[in-house]
Amino acid sequence: MKRWGASFLTAGDDAEQARVNSTEATAAASQTRRNVTLALSGNLLITAAKFGAWMSCGSSAMLSEAIHSVVDSGNQMLLLVGLRDVGKAQDAAHPYGYGKNVYFWSLVSALGTFWLGAGVSMTHSISDLMHPKLIEIPVEVWGVLGLSFAVDGFVFTKVMRNTFKAKPKSMPLLTYVKSIRDPATVAVLLEDGAACTGVLLAGAGIGLAQYYDNPIFDGLAGVSVSLLLAGMGLALARLNQQYLLGQAVDREIVSDVNNMLMERSSIDNVHSVQSQWTGPYSFSYKAEVDFDGTYLAAKLMERYEPEFKKSIESDTLEQDLKLLLSWYAEDVMRMVEREVKDIEREIRAVYPAAAYIELEPDSKDSNQFAIDQGGREARLRGIEMKALNKIILALKEIKRHEEETFASADTDGDGLLSKGQIADVLSKECGRVNNVLFNSLWSQHTKIGVFSINLKEFKTFRRSYKMAVKNSSAANTNFPPLN
Domain ranges of the chain: 10-245, 251-478
Q: What is the pLDDT of residue 182?
A: 82
Higher per-residue pLDDT: 83 or 275 = 275
Q: What is the pLDDT of residues 429-454, one digit of tens each?
A: 777 787 877 887 787 777 767 778 88
**49, 144 contact by CB (below 8 A):** yes
Q: What is the pLDDT of residue 283?
A: 92
- Phi first, then psi, for residue 352 (nearest 5°) are -60, -20
CA neighbor of 417 nearest in space, from 451, 445, 448, 449: 451
From residue 261, give the alpha-carbon distance in Å to each of 227, 232, 268, 386, 482: 49, 41, 9, 24, 24
Q: What percent of the chain has pLDDT over 70?
A: 89
**pLDDT confidence band for 13 (50 / 70 / 90):** very low
Please tell me the least confidently modeled range out of 1-10, 191-200, 265-274: 1-10
What is the mean pLDDT of the segment spanning 295-315?
88
Architecture of domain 10-245: Up-down Bundle (1.20)
**465, 426 contact by CB (below 8 A):** yes
**pLDDT confidence band for 175 (50 / 70 / 90):** confident
Q: What is the pLDDT of residue 53?
A: 84
Q: What is the pLDDT of residue 471?
A: 65
- Give the Cβ contact number of residue 318 at 10 Å: 8
288: exposed, middle or buried (C-beta count within 10 Å: 0-12, 13-18, 19+)? middle
Q: What percent of the chain has pLDDT over 90?
A: 8
Full 3-state SS string of 344-391: HHHHHHHCCCEEEEEEEECCCCCCCCHHHCCCCCHHHHHHHHHHHHHH
Does residue 5 surpass a pLDDT of 60? no
Does residue 479 surpass a pLDDT of 60? no
In sequence order, which residues have a C-beta less than 8 Å from that of residue 254 and are 6 or more positions away?
Answer: 248, 273, 275, 285
Q: DSSP assignment, residue 281? A: T
Can you give the length of the chain in residues? 483
In sequence order, which residues have a C-beta less than 8 Å from that of residue 404 and are 6 or more positions away?
Answer: none
Helix, coil or strand: residue 110: helix
Higher per-residue pLDDT: 140 or 344 = 344
In the chain, what's the furthest Cα-to-Cα distance?
A: 112
Helix, coil or strand: residue 472: helix
Give the Cα separation of 240 and 182 in Å (integer).
Answer: 9
Between 216-245 and 60-84, two packed helices, what is the crossing angle to 10 degrees?
Answer: 20
Task: Please tell me the pTM assigned to this model.
Answer: 0.72
Q: What is the pLDDT of residue 6?
A: 36
For the four alpha carbons of 435, 436, 440 and 441, in that order, the dihedral sign comes to: negative
Q: DSSP assignment, residue 113? A: I
The number of C-alpha atoms within 13 Å of 118 and in the hemisphere containing its C-beta is: 18
**pLDDT confidence band for 480 (50 / 70 / 90):** very low
Does residue 248 surpass a pLDDT of 60? yes
Does residue 22 surpass a pLDDT of 50? no
In sequence order, which residues have a C-beta less than 8 Å from that of residue 58 and are 6 or more positions away?
Answer: 133, 135
CA neighbor of 243 nearest in space, from 84, 455, 99, 61: 99
Q: What is the pLDDT of residues 112-131, one digit of tens each?
A: 888 877 887 888 788 878 88
Does residue 4 surpass a pLDDT of 50? no
Q: What is the pLDDT of residue 472?
A: 62
Give the Cα separation of 434 and 472 in Å (integer).
Answer: 10
Q: Helices in 263-357 by DSSP H: which ranges?
A: 293-313, 317-350
What is the mean pLDDT of the segment spanning 226-253?
88
What is the mean pLDDT of the segment spanning 81-86?
78
| Cα angle for residues 349, 355, 359 (degrees, 5° grid) | 90
**288, 272 contact by CB (below 8 A):** yes
Encoded amino acid at 437, one letter: L
From residue 2, give the alpha-carbon distance in Å to each of 6, 7, 53, 242, 355: 11, 11, 68, 35, 20
Helix, coil or strand: residue 151: helix
